[in-house]
Amino acid sequence: TTPVIIDCDPGHDDALALLLALGSPGLDLLGVTTVAGNQTLEKTTRNAQRILALAGAGTIPVAAGAGRPLVGALTVAADIHGESGLDGPDLDGPVAEVAGVHAVELMRRLIRARDEPVTLIATGPLTNVALLLSLHPEVLPRIAEVVFMGGSTERGNTTPYGEFNIVTDPEAADIVLRSGLRTTMIGLNVTHQALATDEIIAEFRAMDTRVGSVCAELMTFFADAYRRNFGFGHPPVHDPVAVARVIDPAIVRTEKVAVAVELAGTYTRGATVADLHRRTGREPNADVAVGLDVESFWRLLMAAVRNVSTA
C-alpha cells in the first residue's frame, strides 16, 4: 500500500477525494491536513473531520494549517461550496478532536515516522505544502511525490487563465513547482472530463447507504452551484482525480512538462504556464495530466464509496 497524506480544503470534491482514499485498499491514509481555500480554515477543518466521521475513520489524525495564503488575503469560494464549505447534506454529529499541532508539523512527523517515502496529495491551495518544504527541507528526500489538483494547460475557472487553488496562493504553487520534488499537476483540462452527471448522482443514491446519500446530496448542491455560476449542471469532481492518479497511475495520462506559475501578470496572476510544445528550453519539472480514463475513474470512485459504506 502507498502511504499518503491528503492536504485539503473541503469542499464538495475534496470530500469525494477523501472518501476515495478511505475506500481504496491500495492507499494508507496517514493523516489529513487542512488549509483555507474553499472556505475559512475553521470550516474546512470541521468539514474534513465530518467526512472522516461519516466514513468511520475518526481515528485518522487531522491538523489545521494555514488560514490564509502566503501573500495577500483569502478569497473563499462560497458561491461554489456554500457558507459551510460543504453545503447540501446534513453532516451534524460528533467528530474527533483535531491534533494539537499545526498541519505542517503533523506532516513532518508522519513523514519522518515512515521508512518508505510518503506521497502528498494536495487538493487545496498549496500553502501548507510550501510551508513544509520551506521550513523543513530535510523531509524532501522522504517525499515520494506531490500530486496536486490545480492549474490547467488551458484556461481557468477563477480568472480567465487561473484555476482556484493556484490563484488562491500562487507563491505557494511556485515554491512547490520549483522545489525539485517529483510533482504531478492534475489540472482543469482533465478534471473537466470527470463530470457528476445525473446518472452518477443516481448511482450514489441507489447505493442506499448513508455515505451514498451524502455523496448524492453533495453532488446535487455542487451541480446547482455550477449551473448558477458557469451555466452547466454537470459539475467536474476535480480533487478525486488526484487521488485516483496515486491509486492507479494509468488512469491519468501525463507528459513531462516545464510548468511555471505566473506571479505577476496584469490579467494572469496564478496562471500555470505549461510548456507543452517545449518552446522555452526549460527543463520539465512536472508530470502534467493530459488525459483521463473517465470510465475507470468512476469505477474506482464508486467502488471506494461502496467500501466505505460497508466499513
* Under rule CB under 6 A, residue 189 binds ligand BDR: no
Interaction between residue 39 and ligand BDR (CB under 6 A): no
Nearer to ligand BDR, 122 or 139 (CB): 122
Q: Which helix (H) or strand (E) holds 133?
A: helix 127-135
Q: Give least dist CB 247 to ligand BDR, A.
A: 18
Handedness of CA 123, 127, 29, 31 (dihedral sign): negative
Taking the complex as a whole, the smallest distance from the CB of residue 50 to ligand BDR amounts, in Å, to 15
Q: Which stretch binds Ca ion (CB under 5 A): 6-14, 110-118, 193-201, 295-303?
A: 6-14
Beta strands 259-261 and 252-257, pairing class = unpaired
Instruction: Write the interaction track for Ca ion spanning residues 104-123; mark x where CB under 5 A is met and - where it is not.
Output: -------------------x
SS3 state of residue 101? coil
Contact positions with ligand BDR (CB under 6 A) in 125-154: 149
**Residue 139 vs 226, nearer CB to ligand BDR:** 226
φ/ψ region of 300 (left if φ > 0, alpha if ψ in -120 to 50, else beta) reads: alpha
Radius of gyration of the chain (CA): 18
Is 14 one of the binding residues for Ca ion (CB under 5 A)? Answer: yes
Q: Which C-beta is closer to Ca ion: that of 61 or that of 124?
A: 124
Q: Maximum CA pair distance of the chain?
A: 54
The answer to whether 2 and 27 are in contact (CB under 8 A) is yes
Q: Is 220 in the site for ligand BDR (CB under 6 A)?
A: no
Distance of alpha carbon 238 from the chain centroid: 7
Residues that bind ligand BDR (CB under 6 A): 11, 13-14, 38, 77, 80, 123, 149, 157, 163-165, 238-239
Residues that bind Ca ion (CB under 5 A): 9, 11, 14, 123-124, 239
Residues annotated as catalytic are: 238
